Structure 1
Amino acid sequence: MVAPAVTPEHPGPEPVPSTHRRRPWPVLARVLVAAAAGGLWYVSYPPRTAWWLAPVAFALLAAVLRHRRARAGFGYGLVFGLAFVLPLLSWLQDFLGADFGPLPWAGLSLVVALYMAVSGAAMAVVSTLRGGPVWMAALFIAGEVLRTRWPLNGFPWGKVGYGQPEGAFLPLAALGGTALLGLAVVLTGTGLAELVARLRARAGRRALIAPLVFTLAPVLAGLAAAPLVTTDAQNGTRTVVIVQGNAPNDGMNLLYDTPILRANHLAATRTLIADIKAGKIAKPDLVVWPETVVDLPPDSARDSELADLVHQLGVPLLVGARHYLNPTTVQNTVQVWDPVTGPGPSYAKQELVPFAEYVPLRSISAAVTPFVADTRDMIPGSGPGALPTAGTVVGAAICYEIAYEQVVSETVAAGAQLLLVPTNNAWYGPGEMSYQQLAMSRVSAVEFGRAVAVAATSGVSAVVEPDGSVSQQTSLFTAQTLVARVPLRSTATLATRLGAWPEWVVSALGLAALVLATGTRIARRRARTGRA
């Protein structure tokens, strides 16, 4: 008897369910690969320089997610995220560990990883579409866009783009910011995973063209964009001195060490004044201090010691201060002090750190931690940090704000020719936090075409050129002074002009693909149900 041909009208018999339980090894293997992928992404991140490992990490993740269900994608994405975020944020233990244990570190890591889990679920769904690697990459970046904005103004730490302060992909930051930079990295990985899958399936040459393009095009685009990243001094130069006075490694107790920070930075600046008078250092155009090294009263000019110091210095000093506007209102500010006219323009930090500079849900938080009782909420500022001084405009982004592209973009649009990042990283001990933040400044330098002066209380202070390279850098927990001639620039990169558009376009494309893939799956499920 001849068996009937299998056609769409006669799809053949349903497979007989196996009486044996599915062995867990394939699932366990995928879990292990997802964990290895997240770990590999972490290893690619600064302070290490293995930027090229990031696409490999996303290739492994894409291989695990390819053609899986959303539920499986969520689980594998969560494993991937935890393997990356837990070691990435381990410096939180230096800050809170002695008083709070590992719960805050583990809790924040889990929240960040959940965004990657949602992205993993969505990536699994779109992986079956034509051009799947593109949509998978777009959805991962869409998850970052959401995480950067919600909740509590988001948490942009650990974005793909911020792990690429050097290498072939970096020039793309000048074209489309971290969205385009991150998309290129992830797409190279998802394209590579698809290419390997088709090679293993012995697909024809034509079937290999698309994944090969997805893999190579981002790298080639980055190399092609390299000539667009320049460092010329379009508006002259300024000699900038960065004073790193040092701070105790006290973790959370640094909250009470402002008198020590003040004394250290006053002493380091007095040494600088002596060196200038002795001719050891040429008189600079501008001196900058790190974040919150002094407390200032409502009328800043009443700080006679600081006023006298600036008068002796003879050049403007940008002071990072905790500014008490009145007994109940305090802001994190950078203020220009002129040797002749005294306190001048100031900028107050807009993107405050939740549960550090302000406490959301304070009544609930007070029930679980005594830390709340000893703090008051800072008040965010408004308006860009464009500070006119020393014959130019310096754009300030205070500490954590360097991770928020819109803050820096507004400052550059307001005329900043040089960027300043005052920061107080002594809170976080000798771990990797300072280097991760420095990487953000390096990417921002390329994205906005500006040199960046990073002034840290205890390090890492640095001078970053407009191409993202570091010309000078300090060590951690040492008192050091950097003197550098930096270029002033007024060019508007394409990324500056586009603003947030690359993020929205990439996110919209990914979400459109997700809707299409979801609709297709539903239609197929209904068709199978109808045949049954």
Structure 2
Amino acid sequence: MEMTLRPPAAPQVSAAAAPGPLRLRLAVPLAVLGGLALLLALPPYDLWWLSPAGVALVAVATHRRRLRAGFGVGFVAGVVLFFPLLNWTSFAAGWLPWALLATAEATYLGLTGLATAWLSPLLDRRRFLWPVLLGLLWVAQEAARDRAPFGGFPWGRLAFSQGDAPALRFAAYGGAPLVTFAVAAAGGCLAALVWQRPSRGALGHLVALAALTVAPAALPLPAPAGPTKVVAIVQGNVPRLGLDFNAQRRAVLDNHVKATLGLAGEVEAGRQKQPDLVIWPENSSDIDPLQNQDAAQEIAAAAAAIGAPILVGAVLRTDNPADIKNAGILWNPGTGPDLAQTYVKQHPVPFAEYMPLRSIARLVSDKVDLVRNMLAGDHPGVIRTSALTLGDVICFEVAYDGIVRDTVTGGAQILAVQTNNATFNAAEARQQLAMVRLRAVEHGREALMASTVGVSGFVGTAGDVHEESGFNEASVMVRAMRLDGSRTLATRLGVRPEMAAVALTAAALAWAFVLRRNRRAGVHLGEAKAEER
């Protein structure tokens, strides 16, 4: 009887047919290019179409890598993005806080690279999942970065790069998380197209790419339907840029008073509209006007001259000399400050406006005691004036979804961001203005940004900017703003889309765990059968 010897069968593992990861010498340059693309998509460069390309480059560089390598490649992209993006933080605080903050932010991109590598088993034979999974993963990454540590720091979100893009309109339907999802999903379409040879699915990915990047231009946006009120922004400027602007407190206050008196003269001469409300920026009175009579008289004179209430950005002292508050106070002509219409900043910046773990940090450096303790407010910035209801947020708070939304659900008819950019630069100011643009679309409310030095301006509900000022100059802008409007779907949904994305991301990571375990079990079974033969 003739017997035929057969070679042992190879283990039947799905990963065998999938291509391996890119060589590290190619993956690292791709990560660098990805980080650079993400950087250039953001202000002040505003090359918004590079955001999907950046996501795709990082995804391809980390796909099918070992987890540690995936983290490292993602971290490289994060370093390239965040160190130059946050360079302005070094102007006031020096290089060490800048390096620590940028490194912490880059770590989140490292974790994104690790997660992308972990999800590889889902993507090897399911290229149609690239857009969905990358969209979910980036939303989940930003959700974590927006909250931790110490309340998070949401700078550099994909959504903030889309000020001039059609995808900005998604903000009205699902807020910043939906915009981020669309941008990252577009990157997933690109990644799916380049990872393997063209296939029948290529057309579908091209259609999805167009739907995510071009088609949103056709999405309708709600427009405010209420009456108009005239609002003035006063950008008084400071004598010198830099951290020592705090030593120039009286000069800064005088600049804003002088500019308001000048506006009053223009109104009296009929060359400018009579404002219903005047907005001064954050720190326009770093002298506490509730305790300093001279400062109070200056502001009262300005309010009386212009004949309208002024929202004053003031630093308030407390009974404890170490504690301060960053506030917006409504100052009415004739009657003075309305303490019932005062907003105290809810989200002071850690390590800049207050020092977390001060006793531990003091063991490292005695410089920590130079940071004052800014107390957080306990309610949204809903300011009710005789003419309109204003939603006020202060400086970096515009980056946080919930803080802005709470003013709208509280009745805000327009949005205002009081900010002080004197310790930073024009790039930071434009990054902040991009966030104001997104918020105006997200909530269907006209908005404005009032800065000590610029950039200040008005923003329409389609994200369009009007009366934009320059940087490091005195300027006064006046515009009739339309009030009210129906609440957008994004306002009504609130945090739900983001939390749904986080839950689906967790489910995808768990699914990848099951596939990995089955894959290992298949390999072991194949090896055992081969030994039996």
Question: What code does the residue aligned with 1:304 have?
Answer: Q
Per-residue deviation at 1:337?
1.0
The equivalent residue for 2:471 is: 476
Note closer, same or farther for the CA distance 1:300–1:466 as it changes in structure 2 (3 Å cut): farther
Q: Tell me how far apart the structure 2 counterparts of residues 210 and 504 of structure 1 sit (CA, whole Å).
A: 28
Aligned to 2:178: 180
Structure 2 residue aligned with 1:171: 169
Partners of 1:290 and 1:521 lie apart in 2 by 54
1:208 and 2:187 aligned:
no
Deviation at 1:139, TM superposition (A): 1.1
Instruction: State the partner residue of 1:55.
Output: 52
Partner of 1:296: 288
Cα displacement string for residues 335-378 of structure 1 (whole angstroms, at most 9, x for unaligned residues): 11111322111111101100111111112333444543334211
Pairwise CA distance, 1:326: 2.8
1:91 equivalenced with 2:91 (yes/no): no
Q: Aligned ranges for residues 293-372 of structure 1 at < 5 Å?
A: 293-294=284-285, 295-298=287-290, 303-328=296-321, 329-344=323-338, 345-372=341-368
Whether the 8 Å contact between 1:127 and 1:133 is mirrored in structure 2 is: no
Contact 2:442 2:490 survives alignment (8 Å): yes
Gaps of 5+ in 1: 15-21
The offset of 1:526, in angstroms, is 2.7
CA distance in 2, matches of 1:193, 1:343: 56
Matched, 1:236 2:233: no
TM-superposed CA distance for 1:527, in Å, is 2.8
Aligned-partner Cα distance in 2 for 1:318–1:139: 40
Tell me the alpha carbon deviations over residues 395-417 of structure 1, each in whole angstroms, 9 at most, x when there is no partner.
Answer: 10111110011011110001100
- Between stretches 477-486 and 300-309, larger displacement belongs to 300-309
Deviations 1:302-344 (A, max 9, x none): 8223223212221111101001243434211111111132211
Give 3-state SS (helix, strand or coil) of 1:149's partner: coil
**Residue 297 (structure 1) shift:** 4.9
SS in 1 for 2:146: helix
Residue 336 of structure 1 aligns to which amino acid in structure 2?
Answer: L
Equivalence for 1:106:
99
**Residues 1:290 and 1:2: Cα distance change in structure 2 (over 3 Å):** farther
Whether the 8 Å contact between 1:174 and 1:448 is mirrored in structure 2 is yes
Name the Cα RMSD after superposition. 2.4
Tell me the distance in 2 between the aligned counterparts of 1:5 and 1:192.
41
Quote the residue 1:527 is aligned against: 522
Q: Is the 8 A contact 2:426 2:471 kept in 1?
A: no
**Structure 1 segment 67-78 matched on structure 2, within 5 A:** 67-78=64-75
259-268 or 247-256: bigger deviation: 247-256
Superposition TM-score, scaled by structure 1 size: 0.91
1:508 to 488, 494, 503: 503
Tell me what 1:19 maps to: none
Match of 1:44 in 2: 41
Q: Which amino acid is 1:388 matched to? A: R
Select which of 421, 435, 439 maps to 2:417.
421
Shift of 1:210: 4.8
Unmatched segments (≥5 aa) in structure 2: 528-533
Per the alignment, residue 135 of structure 1 pairs with 133
Q: 1:473-497, CA deviations, whole angstroms, 9 ceiling, x for partnerless residues?
A: 1111101111111111231000000
Q: Partners of 2:91 and 2:277 in 1: how far apart?
A: 33
Distance, in Å, in 1 between the alignment partners of 2:4 and 2:154 is 64
Aligned length: 510
* Contact 1:415 1:490 survives alignment (8 Å): no
Residues 117-136 of structure 1 mapped to structure 2, 5 A cutoff: 117-129=110-122, 130=126, 131-136=129-134
Instruction: Please name the residue that 1:18 is paired with.
Output: none
Contact 1:136 1:510 in 2 (8 A): no
* Distance in 1, Cα, partners of 2:204 & 2:22: 32
Once the two structures are TM-superposed, the CA of residue 196 in structure 1 deviates from its matched residue by: 2.3
- 1:160 corresponding residue in structure 2: 158
Q: Which SS does the other structure have where 1:432 is aligned?
A: helix
Distance 1:495 1:389 in 2: 26
Deviations 1:404-446 (A, max 9, x none): 1101111000110011101001111x34100000000001110
Letter in 1 for 2:275: P
Q: Is the 8 A contact 1:116 1:140 kept in 2?
A: no
- Report the CA distance shift for 1:162/1:4 in structure 2 as closer, same or farther (over 3 A): same
- Name the CA shift for 1:122/1:213 in 2 (closer, same or farther; >3 Å): farther
8 Å Cα contact 1:134-1:190 kept in structure 2: yes
CA contact (8 A) 1:249 1:427 kept: no
1:257 and 2:248 are equivalent in the alignment: yes
Q: Contact 1:290 / 1:456 at 8 angstroms: preserved in 2?
A: yes
Give, in angstroms, the shift of residue 134 of structure 1.
1.4
Contact 2:273-2:478 within 8 A present in 1 as well: no
1:387 and 2:380 matched: no
Find the residue that maps to 2:316 and give its secondary structure.
strand
Structure 2 length-normalised TM: 0.90
Q: Percent identity?
A: 38
The equivalent of 1:34 in structure 2 is 31
